[in-house]
Amino acid sequence: YTAPDSCKGRCEEPYSEEDECHCNAKCERYHNCCEDYYRHCRPEGFSSSRDTITDEDLLHISEQLYKADHNKARPSDIAINPQYQASPDETGDQEDRSPQPLYKYVNEELFSKPTYASFIKLLDNYQRVTGREEDVTAEELREQDNFLREVMKTELMKKLFAFLHKKNRYSSEQEFVADLKEMWFGLYSRGDGEQDSSGFEHVFSGEVKKGKVSGFHNWIRFYLLEKQGIVNYFSHNFNGPWDTYPDVLGLQFSWDGFYKEVGSAFIGCSPEFEFGLYTLCFIARPGRACHLSLGGYSLSIQTYTWTKSTYGNGKKYIATAYVISP
């Protein structure tokens, strides 16, 4: 007997869609390997393979992507007012300890840049309560395609594709973009069978599940809703070491009365930076901490795969992705 979520005794067994996770060499490409695949099926520690994405590779490519974020905010584009820093035992008590908004000023000219403008158009496409079927219109599908087209014009996403292509994950940019569309925008059910969620909705737009805010890790979304009076900033529990953008904050806030205990977010990065970094970590280290380097500082991203449904040849959707604040 072999546990259904283990590769013990299952290395190189043929693909079957009934398996919970997979143990043949293709599973790396489809990011659907069992968690112990590397332990059982790659005894050499996987580092001798040309297609391995090593820890060193991740540190190197993340610094390259950081340098390529040409659309990020300049220091003069954003002024934040973090106010109260909550201790670990205060993050759950839902107290507003910061009377002022988090954002004092954002230069909204940023939002006319093509990747920002196409990103912002996507934010109102979702029903935030899980369990409600998403009704995707033809226009919304066009908005998804437009966003992917705009991000793929950037040096940052071209660098990411070149890296993944070299590591044999994608044979063409077309294949990469088609997979991005599925992994991020493909619908699945967090409720009772309704197609009510996607990786993009969860991570960037935010959801409400069982009376709590779920996901919602994006600074642009936060700023726009705070400006409308819909989001109320309470406190922060972590402020990253960066003195330029992107920076990282761990936030406590209320969204229309629903609470988020820790919503970590990059502050001041471009949409393509966040989208690219999360994609990199989801492909390279699904379900595990993904250790990166940005401007000489360590940072980790956690991603999770959605395990209850798949697309294509057993590929997994993104369940969530976020910065792990220490």
Check 22, 31, 167, 202 and give the catalytic one.
202
The predicted structure's pLDDT at residue 68: 98
Q: Mark whether 212 is an active-site residue.
A: no
- Taking the CB of residue 54, how many other CB atoms lie within 10 A of it? 14
Q: Mark whether 217 is an active-site residue.
A: yes
The predicted structure's pLDDT at residue 45: 43
* Backbone φ, ψ for residue 232 (5° rounding): -120, 115
Cα angle at 307 between 189 and 311, to 5 degrees? 75
What is the pTM assigned to this prediction?
Answer: 0.86
User: Are the C-beta atoms of 207 and 197 separated by less than 8 Å?
Assistant: yes
The contacts of residue 265 (CB under 8 Å, 6+ apart) are 217, 218, 219, 222, 248, 249, 251, 323
Give the model's confidence band at 325: pLDDT under 50 very low, under 70 low, under 90 confident, else very high: low
Q: Which residue has the higher pLDDT, 287 or 115?
A: 115
Which domains are present in the chain? 1-46 (4.10.410.20), 55-324 (no CATH)
64-68, 209-213, 276-280: lowest mean pLDDT where?
Answer: 209-213
Condensed to tens digits (0 to 9), the pLDDT of residues 171-191 reads: 899 999 999 999 999 999 987
Check 72, 167, 209, 217 and give the catalytic one.
217
Condensed to tens digits (0 to 9), the pLDDT of residues 38-87 reads: 778 865 444 435 678 889 999 999 999 999 999 999 999 999 999 999 99
DSSP 83-103: -PBPPGGGTTS------S-SE
Check 167, 209, 260, 316 and give the catalytic one.
260
Element of type H or E holding 253: strand 247-255
The predicted structure's pLDDT at residue 245: 96
For the purposes of burial, counting CB atoms within 10 Å of the CB of 89, is it exposed (0-12), middle (13-18) or buried (19 or more)? exposed
In this model, does residue 271 exceed pLDDT 70?
yes
The pLDDT of 83-103, averaged and rounded, is: 96
Q: Mark whether 60 is an active-site residue.
A: no
The predicted structure's pLDDT at residue 242: 96
User: Are the C-beta atoms of 144 and 176 separated by less than 8 Å?
Assistant: no
What is the spatial distance between Cα 158 and Cα 151, in angstroms, rounded to a whole number? 9
The predicted structure's pLDDT at residue 296: 96
Side chain identity at 119, as an amino acid letter?
F
User: Closest by alpha carbon to 319, among 271, 278, 280?
Assistant: 278
In this model, does residue 23 exceed pLDDT 80?
yes
What is the spatial distance between Cα 170 and Cα 176, in angstroms, rounded to a whole number? 6
